[in-house]
Amino acid sequence: MGLSHRSRRATARTSSGIARYARRHSRHRRGRILRRRSSSGRFARHRRRAFSLARGPARPLARICRRRRGPAPRGSLGADREPRRPRLLDTLLEESPGIDCAALLDSSLIVREASGLERGFVGCVAPAGALDEEVARTRMGLSVRDAVTDPRLARSAVAQSGIRALHVVPLLDRGVLLGILHAGSRTAYELSPLELSLVRTAATRATDIVEMEASTAEAHRLLALQDELARTLSEARTVEEAMKGALSALCQHLGFDVGL
């Protein structure tokens, strides 16, 4: 025997409520990103004024800012998501003659993207050794003049790759560590003020990308949960089965194992 009219109405209200939550959650995350982009835009304009006496060097910063403010690609929520990180690193290297290698680490200090480095660098854990751990702990950027001789990077993957100057920047969202950006040079012992500005701008853009990917993934999970709840409730023959199925789907979504 199917569900009663009252149970079907409860099912519809549950599905509608989850859909509204997913939309509100997605709008909230997008609003935070847009506010950060507005703040980053003011920072970019300030930097352009600072370099007004040297119009040539100001153009790389403006180019990275334009890419950051560019419209999202049309299509599905996840369209063109994966290539954004390597494109960001490639742009940083193209616009910074003194920077010849860069890497993006996740919150677990695992290298997810790298440019100008060996292929085996991707997947490496804490390539800058104790320096990565210090940045993750203090939430503050650090610079090194010679990664080969710095004791904090002894026997690290960064030191073995021949990098001299290294700048490490945390990717933060309201104090929460989302990842770390590395930018280094094999020829220079210090990055110029312009190159440091480019690195900070790239870090802001990387933070936007990481948060947008997390928001997209969460939206997909919520939509999948909504579909699973709707299917479970529509197939249930009794209210008890419906509640048990809904609880099981919610626990699976939250990562709990309660043996249902």
Reported pTM: 0.61
C-alpha triplet 103, 109, 111: angle, nearest 5°: 35
Tell me the Ramachandran region of residue 150: left when phi exceeds 0, alpha when psi lies from -120 to 50, beta otherwise: beta
Q: Which residues pair with 106 in a beta bridge?
A: 179
pLDDT in tens, the chain (260 residues): 455 555 556 555 655 655 565 556 555 555 655 555 555 554 455 445 444 433 444 455 455 555 444 444 333 333 344 557 778 898 899 888 899 999 999 999 999 999 988 878 899 999 999 999 999 999 999 999 999 899 999 889 999 889 999 999 999 988 899 999 999 999 999 999 999 999 999 999 999 988 888 888 888 888 888 888 888 888 888 888 878 887 787 777 777 765 65
Q: Parse the chain into domains and list their residue ranges.
A: 1-71+212-260, 99-191
Residue pair 86/115 in contact (Cβ under 8 Å)? The answer is: yes
Q: CATH 3.40.50.2300: does it fit domain 99-191?
A: no
